[in-house]
Each structure stands twice: as structure tokens, then as C-alpha cells.
Amino acid sequence: MADAMWLTEEAVDAAARGRVFCVDNAGAEDASSLRLRSEIVEFMKRPLVSDPSEADVVLRIGYADAGLDGGEAFRIRRAGTSAESIVIEGNTAVAALYGLYAWIRRTATGEGVPEGPEGYASVPQQAMRMIDHWDQVDGSVERGYAGESIFFGDLDSNDHTDFRDFPERPGRDPFRGDMARIESYARLLASVGINAIALNNVNVRGRAAELMVQPLLGRVARIARVFSGFGIKLFLAINFAAPKKLGGLDTADPLDPAVRAWWSGVIDGIYNAIPDFGGFLVKADAEGEPGPMQYGRDHKDGANMLAEPMARHGGAVIWRAFVYNCRQDWRDRTTDRAKAAFENFAPLDGQFADNVILQVKFGPMDFQVREPLTPLIGTLEHTNLMVEFQITAEYLGHQIDVNYVLPQWLRVANFDTAAPAELLGQAGDARVKAIVPRLSPNPSCSGYAGVANVGMDDNWTGNKLAQANLYGFGRMCWDGEATAESILDEWLALTFPQAGAAALEAIRGIMLTSNQTYENYCAPLGVGFMVVPGLHYGVSVNGYEYDRWGTYHFADRDGMGVDRTVATGSGYTAQYRPENAAMYEGLDTTPDELLLFFHHVPYGHVLHSGKTVIQHIYDTHFAGVEAVDGYIRAWDGVRGSIGEDDWANVAERLQRQRENAVAWRDQINTYFHRMSGVDDEHGRTIYA
């Protein structure tokens, strides 16, 4: 049995105890209303009653007087005089389901339900709250650190008895078929408000291209039905060359009528099997994936070609903006990878169809521990946007190192893009979280996406504490006011209901500082990419320095950093709105933590903190290891307060994290000591 993550039995029982539920459903008998009933009877183990006056909890669905907009908002309030009885209401069964999970959460945290007719009402901030899986049909997960895919794999030992689609090819079923695990996963996702999921990797290799057609489509549909009950729409990543690979055509040119007709037929077929299919996720003309550029067309031609037949069924096309030259020559100082997304997509602003969404990584490079916001967000004014985050810890410690990433993500969500007032409406809010729906011409096609961090490991995420990032991603999408602290406190209350205050405080202390700690012992001041190439775990100062990926630190004996200014560098800073462009252009106005992302400076350059760059490097790298030592001591004190398996899981990983932090400290410090010739002010050990 897999770990229940944050839906622990104790947390669920605490909300359900002594209560009887009643579903008073004014709506249709759809998948979600059936799911709502089974959540009550089978998951929460409470009987349904038909007379509301006998119920402690009444779910009211489809009531006009709910005073809530849309199909997802809910309200929880106390019923009449009894403090024990509550009403959960929303316009749809999915909304009531969200209310049910919110009630479990608020019971666990002790927040409960406020008195008065308003009670607790909640409206999601982001319309699309999506999880992208990078799962492959062979069962592996690209950048996955928690075991094999929960959807695909285990090819030889699958139970094929019910696999009627391939009777002639037993053993070729690429689906794992563990529907119980998929149902648990769907419940966990819905409990934090996720409403979209992409099943397969954006690098669509081999048979993954066939997922959108029969017979594999039938298996996809079975998974889609499970998600559908929980209000989650399923998306597929597609291979742009599919008309050639699958359709037998000699081109995939998006303006070719035969190609268009072929896609249109495929899309009709999908909707036949999955009536509420979400749409396609497309990585095109990026890192070797096929795309419209091969035919002299552009991204808009490719996306709009797919969007047209998709629109007939209410589906969307999510087009990724992660497009750059991955065959760069390090000698060429005129190309700057950070500029690529903007250069590719800003000229196309306003040319995408209404159901096309541009999915943009939050930073201009690639999910580093410290990056500025991508300049596409806040400058595009006529394009639907989704911000892409990476829950899986590719560059953040592989779920070996503890890294609670919400402080970093919320910095992104709360960053002020400085978009001009005339675009902002009454609220006048130019922060990312407000801009994304505001500047998307079709706000229902906007939101956040996070790359999944789960696999077949017993605890789903490899490191138990990495569950908090999945939880937190969903909560961040839903609740625009949530903080890294409030989200963590919810997760702790739900996950470790039996732990005492001291243990919780210890775990909290570790997690809230963990992202900063990771940054401390990795690349300093916004440099990034000093990792082992390919693997992206562990230190390799020059691993990418002379490689083709466009990720350089340019360290020499005098200084380091990438000059991205207009005055003397690549000119990247000009891609921002004027206020932010000016901030990053100026050496004095650039925040310390991003200094080397924007500027090349001497080692003796004095930061706002008063330290020199070189002393900052030494100090943070020593501090990183010291923090991990502190975590190990604190974790020893947690023993006995949480389940022994969970304790041992993290304890073992903390030891590996320490080795990693020591390796980073020693290699980085020695490298820059050799380069600069400057000694540590405090005379600590730096190896010669």
C-alpha cells in the first residue's frame, strides 16, 4: 500500500468523526457527482442520508443562492445553531468535492469554519492548475527521482487479463494498470485543487506518439475517466511529426491540407473516446523535437493548426516556450540563451488562437535555484499564459537533498512585472499571479503548470518531505494569498497529525530554510549550472562551461558572471519592462542574489551586504554544510514523533545531502580560491 501522503487516515477521520453526510444534488448524475458520493461512502466511510435534517454535514450542489461564481468555488458554513453541523456548497459536484477536502484540511489545522453566513468561501486564483508528467511508455520518468512511472511500465509482469486491445500481443501493454494507485493519486491532486494533467513526457519518443490513437487511446481513456471524476482533465503530449510517423504522410507541414485533415481526424477520434479531453501539450522545435520551423513555418502556424480542430470540442493546445539554440558555441559571445524565449515568442504576441496557451518556464534559463523571472511574463499582452514550475527536483537536489521550494516559487508568483497601469484594471496588480489571468485574452486558458515529482516509490516522492512540494504547488495555484509558511503548516498538520509541537517545529525549521541552504552550497549569486552534466546532481564547476547548451559562468582569475546588460553585454536586460530593465541594468540596483546572472564583476566587488563576492562564496558554502549538520541534529530529535519509516527515509537522505554539500563546498571554494588567489577572511579550510 502506498503512503497516503497528506490524506492520512487520522486527518480524514478527524473531519468525518460523528457526522453523517447528505448529498442534495440539483445537478446531473455526472462523473463528479458519482465520485462525490463514493468519496463520502467509500473514502470517508460515512453513510449518506436522504433527509438533510438528519445530517451533520449537508452538501448543496447547484444552488443559485450559493453566491459563488463559476464551477469550482465553494463555501463551508455552519448550519443553524449547531456548532457541529456544517453545510458545504458550490455550483457543481467538483466544487463540493473541493469543499470536502478543504474541510478535512481546516479540521486538521484547527482553523475550522468561521461563524456567520459567509463561513469560509474560496475561489481558485489560477484557472488552470496543471501537473505535467514526464513519464515515458517504457516506465521510466525523465528527471524522475521517485521510482518508475505510476502510469506506464512493468511491461513483463503486468496483469494482461483485461487487456483486450492487444490480444495478439500479450506482454506489449505499456500501461502499468494499477488503477487503485491512479485513483489515490487523482484524489490527492484534487484535494489540492489540481484540475489538469498531462500523462506523458513532452519529449515524445517511440510508442508514446501512439497514445492519441487506438488501441492505446482506449487505455488512456480508462485513466482519463478516473481523473474526470475528480475534476481533472487529461492532456497528452504529442509529437509534431506524428503525421509522418503514424499517418504515413511525407510531411508534417502545418499548412499542408493533408496534414491538417489528418490531425483533425485524430482529434475527433480522441474526443470520441474521451469526451472531456483537455487537449495537447507540445514541445516543438526545441532540443531536437520536431516542429513547424522545419517547414519554414513558425510556432503560431503549428499551434493554430492544432487549435482549430481542438476548438470544435472545447479543447486547448498548450505550446511550450522552452525554445533555444541547444547547439551553441561557447566561443560565440553574441548568443545568450536567456534571451531565446522572448526572441522566439514576443513577435508572435496576439497571433495565437483563443485556445492556445503559451507555457513558459518561470525563469529565462531552466529551473535553477536562483533565476530572475522570464521577461515574457508581464510583457506579452495578447497571449494566453501558463507559468511552468518544476516540482521534480532536477536542479534542486533530486529529492535526496531536502528542498522545500515554496519560498522560491512564491517569490516568482509575487514578483512585480511592472506592467503598465493601463493593462492592470482596477486592482492595479502587476505581480505574476495577477498578471497571468489578467493579460491572458482567454483567462480560462491560463494558469500554472508543475512538472510532477511522483513515482512508484512507497512514499511517492522518494524523500518524504518532497511531498510538501506537490501539496504546495496545488495550494499555490489555488490560493493567491497563501504563504510558504501557511502552506507548510497545513501540510505538516495533515501529514504528521500525531507529531508533537516540538517535532513539528523542528521539521518546520529544516524545511523553511532548505531552499536557501541548497542555494548556499550550490552555485552562488545566480550563476547556476555548475552541476554534473546530464545528471544535474552534484558539483562540476566547469561541466557545462565549454559545452553547447549556452550555460556559462565565464570565471577567470579576475572575476566571474554573465554580462547581460545593454551597455556592455548581451542586452538581455532590455527584454523587461523599463523599471525592471533599469533595475537589472544597474550594477548597484541589481539584487545581490542575482548579481552574477546579470553582471560580470571582479572577485573583490562589494555586495550590498558589505561582503566581497569571493568572501560571499566562501561564507555561503561553509554555511551550507553547517546548516545540513544542523538538520541532521534536528532530525535526530524528531525520531519517535513520526512513523519510523518516514523518519529513517529522511535520515538516510540527510546523510547523502551532507556528502553533496561537502563536495560542493570544497570544490567551489577551492576552485575560486585558485582562480582569485584571495584567502578566506576567517582562515577556514580551503584545500589547496
Positions touching ligand GCW (CB under 6 A) are 134, 142-143, 201-203, 283, 322, 366
Q: DSSP characters for 313-351?
A: TT-EEEEE-----SS--TT-TT--GGGHHHHHHGGGTT-
Phi-psi map region of 477: left, alpha, beta (phi>0 left; psi -120 to 50 alpha): alpha
Question: Rounded CA gap, 167 and 171, in Å?
Answer: 10
Which lies closer to ligand GCW via its Cβ, residue 202 or residue 493? 202
What is the closest distance, in whole angstroms, from the C-beta atom of residue 393 to ligand GCW in the complex? 12
Question: Rounded CA gap, 218 and 213, in Å?
Answer: 8
Cell numbers 508528467: residue: 133
Which lies closer to ligand GCW via its Cβ, residue 134 or residue 647? 134
| DSSP 8-class letter at 152 | B
Question: Rounded CA gap, 528 and 367, in Å?
Answer: 9
What is the closest distance, in whole angstroms, from the C-beta atom of residue 76 to ligand GCW in the complex? 38
Which lies closer to ligand GCW via its Cβ, residue 104 or residue 211? 211
For residue 215, is the peptide bond before it cis, meaning its omega torsion is within 30 degrees of 0?
Answer: yes
What is the closest distance, in whole angstroms, from the C-beta atom of residue 478 to ligand GCW in the complex? 24
Instruction: Give catalytic residue positions.
Output: 287, 366, 394
If residue 31 lies in a helix (H) or strand (E), which one and from where to where? Answer: helix 31-38
Which lies closer to ligand GCW via its Cβ, residue 143 or residue 245? 143
What is the closest distance, in whole angstroms, from the C-beta atom of residue 508 to ligand GCW in the complex? 31
- Cβ atoms within 10 Å of 431's Cβ, excluding its own: 19
Half-sphere exposure of 208 (CA within 13 A, CB side): 28
Task: For residue 78, list its beta bridge partners.
Answer: 86
Give the torsion sign (CA, 403, 408, 409, 410): positive
Q: Find the residue with minimal CB distance to ligand GCW.
A: 366
Which lies closer to ligand GCW via its Cβ, residue 322 or residue 544? 322
What is the closest distance, in whole angstroms, from the C-beta atom of residue 101 to ligand GCW in the complex? 30
Half-sphere exposure of 499 (CA within 13 A, CB side): 28
What angle is formed at CA 264 by the lines to CA 308 and CA 322, rounded to 5 degrees? 60
What is the closest distance, in whole angstroms, from the C-beta atom of residue 147 to ligand GCW in the complex? 17
What is the closest distance, in whole angstroms, from the C-beta atom of residue 203 to ligand GCW in the complex? 5
Residue 613's contacts (CB-CB under 8 Å, 6 or more residues apart) are 524, 525, 559, 560, 595, 596, 601, 602, 603, 604, 605, 607
Which lies closer to ligand GCW via its Cβ, residue 229 or residue 528? 528
Q: What is the length of the chain?
A: 688
Which lies closer to ligand GCW via its Cβ, residue 321 or residue 511? 321
What is the closest distance, in whole angstroms, from the C-beta atom of residue 390 to ligand GCW in the complex? 8
Strand locations in 279-326 (E): 279-282, 316-320
What is the closest distance, in whole angstroms, from the C-beta atom of residue 576 to ligand GCW in the complex? 23
Question: Rounded CA gap, 522 and 53, in Å?
Answer: 60
Question: Rounded CA gap, 558 and 553, in Å?
Answer: 13
Question: Rounded CA gap, 474 and 193, in Å?
Answer: 6
**φ, ψ for residue 531 (rounded to 5)?**
-105, 165
Which lies closer to ligand GCW via its Cβ, residue 147 or residue 193? 147
Which lies closer to ligand GCW via its Cβ, residue 109 or residue 203? 203
The three cell numbers of residue 424 are: 492592470
What is the closest distance, in whole angstroms, from the C-beta atom of residue 382 to ligand GCW in the complex? 25
Question: Rounded CA gap, 394 and 206, in Å?
Answer: 23
Which lies closer to ligand GCW via its Cβ, residue 94 or residue 358? 358
If residue 153 lies in a helix (H) or strand (E), which one and from where to where? Answer: none
Of 244, 260, 266, 261, which is closest to residue 302 (Cα–Cα)? 260
